[in-house]
Structure 1
C-alpha cells in the first residue's frame, strides 16, 4: 500500500532518478556476473595446467610464468570490461539526462501555462517545444485558450447587456411601484371616503325612516289601511332591512357585538310580523311552524337579525306568487335548525348563492350583498349552513347551538 502511494505521487525527476539507479544496478550485476564467469574459467585453466606432469625444473618454472601471465591477462580483461561498462553507462546517462531535461522543459512549459491560465490568456509558442507529442498538445491547449477567451468576451458582453437591462427593469419597476403606491393611497383615500359617506348616509337615513314608520303606525290608528299605504309600508320596511345591512357592514369592524340569551321562538315571531306586510304585498304568505318548547340560544341579536332578515327577504323576493314560505324551528340533539322553505325557481349553483354580488337572476333588484353577509356571520359564529333546491322546494337551513345543552 505504501509503495502504491509512492508511485501515485511520483514526479518526472524522481522517475528519472529511479531509472538511472535501476540501470546502474543492472550494469553492476552484469559486470559482476561476467567477472565471476571469467574467474571461474581462470581457475579451470589453472587446474588443467597443474595436472600436466613435468619432471624438469625448466618446465616447472615455465608453468609458473604462464600462471602469472594468465592472471595479469585476467586483471586487464576485467578492468577493460568494467571500464567499457562505465563508459557505456556514462553515455547512456548523458543521453538520458539530455532527453530528460528536454522533457522536463516541455512539461514545465505546460505547468507554467496552466498556472497562468487562471489569470492570463497567453498561448504557448510551439517553437519552444522539442517533442512532437507535446507540440500536438500545444495546438489543443491554444485552441482551448482561444475558445475560453471567446466565451469570456461573450459572457462579458452578455453581463454588460444584462446589467443594462436590469437597470432599465429596475427603473421601470421603481416607476411602477411609485405609481402603485400612489394608486394604493388614492384607493385607500377613496375607500375611507366611501366608508365615511356610508357611515354618514346610514346615520342620516335612520331618522327619516323611523319618522315614516311611526307616521304610518299613527295614521293606521285613525284610518283604515289601503293598498297605497301598504305599498309605502312594504317599501319602507325593505329600505329598513337594507339600512340594517349597511349599518352592520359599516360598524362590524369598529364595535364588539356582544352575545346575549335570545328566545329564538319570540325573535322569529317578531321578525315575521315585521315582514308580513312586505310578503303579503308580494302575494306571499308566511307559515311559521313553532315548536312546543321554548328554545334559547346564546347569540348576538344584531347578527341574528341579519341572518333571519336576509333569509326572509330573499324568500320573499324569489318565492313564486301565491305560494307559502314555511318557517320552522326543529330541535336536533344539542342544536336547533332554523329552516326556511318555499317553492321558487331552481337555484342552479347552490355553492355560489352565498357569494357577495352573485345573483342568478340579473333582472332582480339588489346587489347580492345580503346572503354574502349571512355567510360571513355564519363562518364567524360556526353556524352550519345548507341549501337545497329542486323544482318542488328550495330550502335554506341554519344550525344553532342550543343554550344549556
Structure 2
C-alpha cells in the first residue's frame, strides 16, 4: 500500500513510476516521476544534481544498478509513512506542470517489424509479388531518422512540403503533402552506450535499454513514395517524430513479457532468441483521431522484438550512445481495427474512413488531432500506463511565392 492517495485504476501507480522532465512557472526543467495524478520532483527530493540537468541522459548513463537502486528507494519512500513528511512537499499536481522532451536524443533509428503492417503495404503496392520482400523474415529492416526533429507530445505537426509525383503526372511538383499519415509505434531508449566495433548480444538488452515510450512517426506518404527508390525514407519521415513525455522503466514491464510470434524461417545465431528469454511485450495501443477511437494495435504481434532490433543494429559494430532512440515501426495486428496507420485503415486512400460525425478521412486534414495511448499488464491484474503522445496538424507554411516556385 502507498500513502499517496492514488486514483482508482491509475496506470501511474507504484508498479510503474515512469520518469519524465518537467517544469513549473519560473523554474528550470528537471526530472520527475509520475505518481498517480502527481509528479515527484526528484531534483528536490533526492538533492542529486543528476536530476537537475533538464534531461534523463545523465541518470540513464549510470546504468542498471543505479536504475534499480533509485526504483527501490522510490517504492520505499512512497509506501513507508516514516518518509511521508520529507517526500510529500515535493509531490506536485500533474496538472500544474509542463512536460518536456525527456531525453537529449543522440541517434534515432526506426524499424519495420510488424509482419501485418509489412504485408498490408506489400499487398497494396506490389499486388503481383509476394507481400514480404525476401529479406524481411531474416533481419529487422530499419532506417536512420533525424534525431533533431524528435519532439515531445503536443508539438504542432506542421504539414510538410516536398516533391510529389503521382503515377499519372508527367513531372514532380513541389508543395504541401496531400497524404499526411501517422505511425503508431513503441520506442526504446538506450541508457548505457557500447564500444565502437563491439556487438550487443540479445542477452545484454536490459543492460543497455533504460525504458520505453510511445512514438508517432508522422509520415508524408506522397513525398515518401516519390523519393524512397532506391535508398529509402528521407524527407517523407524527417520533418517530425513525436514521443510521449513519460519513459516507463524496462523493469516495470516484467509482467508484460511474452514470447514473440512463431518465426517461419531459421534465424542466424545472433538473432535467435529461443534460449535468451522472451522480449515480446504485451502492450495494447489505442489510436484516436479527434477523440474518436480508430484502432487498437497489439504490440505482442510484432515479429521482431526490441532485443533483436538492438542486436541487429550493432551487429556491424555500430556503437550505442546514451539517449539513442530506436522505434518498433508501425504496430498493426491481423484485424482491420488493429491497423496502426491511416494508409492501412483507408487501404491506400481507396477506402475512406467514416467518422462518427459523418465526415470521412483517407489521410490527415489540417486541424486534425491524433492521440496514441497504451497500457500493459502489471502485477495482480493491474495495468501500466505508457501515457500518451498527441499532435495537432497545422497548415503548411507555404506562401504565394512558394506556390509559384512549385509549378516551375
Query: Same fold per TM (> 0.5)?
Result: no
TM-score grouping bracket, smaller chain normalisation: under 0.3
TM-score (norm 1): 0.18
Which protein shows a greater Rg? 1
More helix by share: 1
More strand by share: 2
